[in-house]
């Protein structure tokens, strides 16, 4: 059997590509080395609770086309992400907004908050922020940086904030209103039946083989083209060097209580707490089950054999990726996509947009 496309990876990138290829009349085989579809957005049903097995996933986008696209495959609820941060015995709302500032400094108005931040920034003399620390200090001043950013970021990335790129912190909104919505995007929600059901729908009618590693079967499967969404450096057997990733270990427990922490996401921002956050999965779907499931997230440096989660997009790795990309561009048959294939800190909406762009190039 010869396929038009062999899609390596049943995550969002691979599933969107396979869906569109099928619609265009192409014959596709999707393989994944894991025993399930969905990649990192995979959710598992535990007593009616959708457990986000590889970390909390909240869908958010400002792109109406992408919102309409995903709504073909799933009904989304109206969940709005509003994490809280615990620092010692203090509790703050995120993202950085008037609730955070009011709690931090005992003030009420935007002008008061702006004045305190401006004063703290003026003392620092930062012109063009060269790294995450400078960017964060320049945005919110020293108090917020010390309590809510420094410890969390160093745990999450295993690196000093001075060694990290500024863009990472720019992901978080900063606003002078009492608004705890973690995202600025127009559209947001969680699939009512979980992400796995959504990806299942994308892959309806497409042949999928699970527990199948590309490197074990590549000589047996005949296909005109390969869409590869695994790690680009692993594809080349790390011959130019190893790209760095952060991995995450999830310690997941079912608890015999109805409501453990009162919120889906609670961040622990102090350096002396070993985990970065605790997720209570039922709150993503407003669950009323008598039990609950929580996951503590421990961040670690990726090593061969671990699951890669976050590309570490600093200069060293970006330069190395560019070299791999050059090799990739000279491939006739294999095309690289997704968070691992393009070594990019993509959110779900951006991965879907990138997959649809690739579909346009490939399928017309
Ligand atoms: P993946 O989901 O990683 O899929 C790649 C697939 O390829 C995997 O299933 C893997 O098993 C398979 N594969 C790899 N190598 C091989 C091989 N050799 N053979 C066969 N199969 C292989 N985005 C948001 O928009 N909102 C969020 O709240 C959010 N939270 C996140 C939280 C965490 C902890 C992480 C890590 C990411 C989060 N993201 C979030 C980003 C989101 O997970 C990604 O944008 C998306 O899942 C990327 O899809 P992908 O298909 O590129 O990669
Ligand atoms: N961050 C922080 N404190 C927090 C939450 C986030 O300092 O309580 C920083 C941290 O550097 C993190 C970045 O903001 O890597 C982006 O956070 P986001 O929640 O977007 O990370 P992700 O969803 O990718 O885990």
- Tens digit of each residue's pLDDT, the chain (364 residues): 899 999 999 999 999 999 999 999 999 999 999 999 999 999 999 999 999 999 999 999 999 999 999 999 999 999 999 999 999 999 999 999 999 999 999 999 999 999 999 999 998 888 889 999 999 999 999 999 999 999 999 999 999 999 999 989 988 999 999 999 999 999 999 999 999 999 999 999 999 999 999 999 999 999 999 999 999 999 999 999 999 999 999 999 999 999 999 999 999 999 999 999 999 999 999 999 999 999 999 999 999 999 999 999 889 999 999 999 999 999 989 999 999 999 999 999 999 999 999 999 999 8
Residue 191 gets which letter from DSSP? Answer: B
Helix, strand or coil for residue 92?
A: strand
From 140, 168, 183, mutation site for ligand 2 pocket: most ligand atoms within 8 A of C-beta? 168
- So what's the pLDDT on residue 171? 86
**83 C-beta closer than 6 A to ligand 1:** no
Largest CA distance in the chain: 69
* CB 31 less than 6 A from any atom of ligand 1: yes
Q: Is the CB of 85 under 6 A from ligand 2?
A: yes
Distances (CA, A) of 226 to 182, 214, 241, 332, 359: 37, 10, 23, 10, 13
Q: What is the pLDDT of residue 264?
A: 98
Sign of CA dihedral 61, 67, 73, 77: positive
Q: Does residue 41 line the site of ligand 2, with CB under 6 A?
A: no
Report the C-alpha gap between 164 and 181 in whole angstroms: 25
Instruction: Give residue 1's pLDDT.
Output: 83
What residue owns the CA closest to ligand 1's atom 7? 9
The 10 Å Cβ neighbour count of residue 75 is 11
Active site residues: 171, 175, 246, 277, 297, 345, 347
Whole-angstrom Cα distance, residue 193 to residue 289? 15
pLDDT attached to residue 125: 86
**Rounded distance, CA 362 to CA 364, Å?**
6
Structural domains in the chain? 2-76+188-243+311-363 (3.40.50.720), 94-168 (no CATH)
**Which residue has its alpha carbon closest to ligand 2 atom 11?**
153
Cα 73–Cα 79–Cα 80 angle in degrees, nearest 5: 125
What is the 131 CA–ligand 2 centroid distance (Å)? 15
Rg (CA), the chain: 22
User: For residue 277, how far is its CA from the centre of ligand 2 (angstroms)?
Assistant: 10
pLDDT of residue 123: 85
Asked if residue 34 has its Cβ within 6 Å of ligand 1, the reply is yes
pTM above 0.75, yes or no: yes
User: Which distant-in-sequence residues (6+ apart) come within 8 Å of 341 by Cβ?
Assistant: 9, 13, 228, 229, 230, 231, 232
Q: Round to whole Å and give the CA distance between 282 and 314.
A: 35
C-beta 148 within 6 A of ligand 2: yes
- Specify burial of residue 291 (Cβ count, 10 A radius: 0-12, 13-18, 19+): middle
Question: What residues are paired with 86 via a beta bridge?
Answer: 91, 268
Rounded to the nearest angstrom, the distance between the alpha carbon of 169 and the centre of ligand 2 is 7
Give the DSSP per-residue string, 95-162: SBSHHHHHHHH---SHHHHHHHHHHHHHTT--SS--SHHHHHHHHHHHHHIIIIIHHHHHHHHSS-GG
| Six-digit token string for 360 | 């346009």
Q: Which of 234, 225, 190, 193 is nearest to 324 (CA)?
A: 234
Is residue 24 within 8 Å of 364, Cβ to Cβ? yes
Q: Phi and psi at residue 180, in whole multiples of 5°?
A: -90, 10
């Amino acid at each position: 059997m010869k396929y038009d496309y062999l899609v390596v990876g049943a995550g969002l990138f691979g599933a969107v590509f396979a869906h569109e290829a099928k619609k265009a009349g192409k014959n596709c085989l999707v393989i994944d080395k894991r025993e399930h579809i969905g990649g990192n957005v995979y959710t598992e049903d535990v007593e009616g609770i959708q457990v986000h097995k590889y970390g909390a996933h909240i869908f958010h986008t400002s792109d109406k086309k992408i919102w309409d696209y995903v709504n073909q495959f799933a009904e989304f609820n109206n969940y709005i992400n509003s994490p809280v941060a615990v620092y010692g015995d203090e509790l703050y709302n995120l993202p950085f907004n008037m609730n955070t500032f009011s709690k931090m400094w005992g003030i009420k108005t935007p002008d008061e908050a702006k004045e305190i931040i401006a004063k703290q920034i003026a003392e620092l003399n930062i012109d063009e922020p060269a790294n995450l620390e400078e960017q964060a200090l320049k945005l919110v001043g020293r108090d917020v940086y010390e309590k809510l950013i420094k410890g969390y970021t160093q745990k999450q990335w295993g690196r000093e904030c001075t060694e990290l790129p500024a863009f990472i912190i720019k992901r978080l909104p900063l606003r002078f209103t009492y608004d705890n919505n973690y995202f600025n995007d127009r559209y947001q929600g969680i699939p009512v039946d979980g992400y796995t059901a959504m990806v299942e729908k994308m892959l309806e009618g497409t042949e999928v083989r699970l527990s199948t590693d590309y490197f074990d079967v590549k000589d047996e499967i005949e296909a005109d083209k390969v869409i590869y969404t695994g790690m680009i450096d692993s594809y080349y057997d790390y011959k130019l060097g190893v790209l760095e990733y952060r991995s995450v270990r999830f310690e997941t427990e079912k608890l015999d209580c109805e409501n453990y922490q009162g919120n889906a996401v609670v961040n622990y921002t102090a350096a002396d707490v070993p985990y970065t956050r605790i997720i209570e999965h039922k709150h993503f779907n407003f669950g009323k089950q008598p039990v609950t499931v929580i996951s503590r997230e421990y961040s670690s440096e990726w090593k061969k054999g671990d699951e890669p989660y976050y590309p570490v997009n600093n200069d060293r790795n970006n330069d190395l990726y560019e070299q791999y990309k050059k090799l990739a561009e000279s491939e006739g048959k294999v095309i690289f996509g997704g968070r691992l294939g393009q070594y990019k800190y993509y959110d779900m909406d951006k991965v879907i947009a990138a997959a649809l762009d690739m579909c346009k190039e490939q399928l017309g």
